[in-house]
Structure 1
């Protein structure tokens, strides 16, 4: 092949490849834009602790810094319904959050289960009472997670599948709260380890039920590693006596750096 023809040939191949890649990226962007997105769940999805709350959301405390809002702002879906609410349990999701779901829904995200298992009471007990009282309360929560929570999650997941049969459903888990083995004011190492173990126990139960329904489990523990309480670079509030409801919830960096990348990698 003469040099001039070779140059033309190679240029044509590169141009075609570039067009294919550009077309693929454009198609992917168009596909994302066409997605109807519904964000369900509890305070970890509504964005409690991140600030910048949407006034119309009232006590649900939906934040413009929460991962669902950030994802929608970056991807411009065809529609975005943000119904996650602070304090929500599985029954609350069933009763008040599923309205926007329909056959056209393409993406659903949800975090739920922590409040059912008594998250707030566990943390209150562990902050105010002894190591043994903390561990006893955690064991009670674990028993609930083993015996009752799976059925509660099944009810929610079945309802999502029924209402939005074509949707990709991403179930987001919960971070570990503490970096262990460090010098840190506050709870004892015994309590911190037990609380982390409880988070792992809850995540395992949620992941099993999500998989059973064909949903994706988004594990946020890896992204939060190095950003736990006592890490020196925490993405979680410790006890906040000025706004107690934000205690043990992700900060704005926790939403953008801990939760959003997990949704992005699984959407």
Structure 2
């Protein structure tokens, strides 16, 4: 499972930043109301953000614009992210502190230096990495007979219930202490998979997707209640992103992408949607409106998909033994893998569909 493992290792961000190539699996159109590139006006980590139009963007990869292309540096920030977009739209002076891979601990240690008594606005997106976003996705993306998605989700939710509440309270208290007069908005997470898995290199069964969605729901509920206890606002993106998952005709979330670190993060249309949600909460007196950006799903390449699945070596002896122990038909498994080696597109498609059916059937048995 080296390929999927590399994917989710990159998604976790941190000091081992993914490649800064600007390519993605979908190519959204440019903003319709502006051609000027949104650029942070306060360099990250320097000075104190002060003034009536000051704005500090804190958090993890979902706050750093990962998924939109053009990400750079150790924190993998992108000028196409929603924070720079809304800063430009609302004429705010942005201190872009968000960092891919950030946890509540690292955010408290590394991102709060520009907060001060004169800071006007703050946004926070945090918690996903505390509960193991990358590890859970890696586990659930693997064929169910080779992984324990349910166990990974359960472990993440255990952390969410036992450790994360205290971590969030400590972090939010730091933010309020450093920026006592700022309007603070906590921003939640969307469902990232939707109701189907159309990517050949991932195996998210319906049970996997439901479990991941339930975990996101619980995380957003915790963020909302904790934010409210500190007088912070909360933005919930789930309903707005419904119908725009990676397999939708107009996706706002990337599926498996290049660069790999952009996978399962909002694309440029998704960043615009976030900006449209957060802006009115962060700056409710403004009359600025969000430009509309659309994106269509890129056509799939069956041969490339087949090559990617073949790299998983599902028909190697060790993986076959695991499949057999899990009650998966090894004869069908080997036949479907062989189909992927065909030069015929229909045969390749049959092999991909067959492997996904084996995965779903095993997940159904395991859930009984």
TM-score bracket relative to the smaller structure: 0.7 to 0.9
After superposition, give the CA deviation of every residue in 1:19-69 in whole Å (9 maximum; x if it has no partner): xxxxxxxxxxxxxx932110000000001111123x4xx121111111110
Alignment of 1:140-179 (within 5 A): 140-179=155-194
Structure 2, gaps ≥5 residues long = 1-50, 283-368
1:72 is the counterpart of 2:72: no
2:299 matched to 1:253?
Answer: no
**Does 2:121 align with 1:104?**
no
Query: Are the aligned partners of 2:63 and 2:125 in contact in 1 as well (CA < 8 Å)?
Result: yes
Question: Which of 26, 34, 54 is 1:36 aligned to?
Answer: 54
Task: Give the structure 2 partner of residue 199 of structure 1.
Answer: 216
Q: Name the TM-score, length of structure 1 as normaliser.
A: 0.81
Distance in 2, matches of 1:127 and 1:213, equals 36
Distance 1:212 1:67, change over 3 A: same
SS of match in other structure, 2:278: helix
**Hey, which of these two has a bigger chunk of helix by percent?**
1
Q: Which runs of 4+ in 1 moved over 3 A?
A: 182-186
Q: Does 1:117 align with 2:131?
A: yes
Q: Distance in 2 between matches of 1:68 and 1:177?
A: 20
Q: 1:34 to 1:183 in 2, by over 3 A?
A: closer
Question: Partners of 2:197 and 2:190 in 1: how far apart?
Answer: 20
- Secondary structure in 2 matching 1:80: strand
Is residue 35 of structure 2 the alignment partner of residue 48 of structure 1? Answer: no
Secondary structure of residue in 2 paired with 1:43: coil
User: Deviation at 1:129?
Assistant: 4.3
Q: Give the Cα separation in 1 of the matches to 2:143 and 2:164.
A: 26
Provide closer, same or farther for how the CA distance between residues 52 and 125 of structure 1 changes in structure 2, counting only shifts above 3 A: same
8 Å contact 2:194–2:243 — kept in the other structure? yes
Aligned with residue 83 of structure 1, among 97, 100, 104? 97
Q: Which residue of structure 2 lines up, in the alignment, with residue 26 of structure 1?
A: none
Quick one: which of 215, 224, 230 aligns to 2:241? 224
Question: Could you say what the CA RMSD is over the residues aligned between the two structures, in angstroms?
Answer: 1.6
Deviations 1:91-110 (A, max 9, x none): 11111100110011110001
Match of 1:214 among 223, 231, 239: 231
Conservation of the 8 A alpha-carbon contact between 2:52 and 2:119: no
Q: 2: distance between equivalents of 1:118 and 1:104?
A: 35
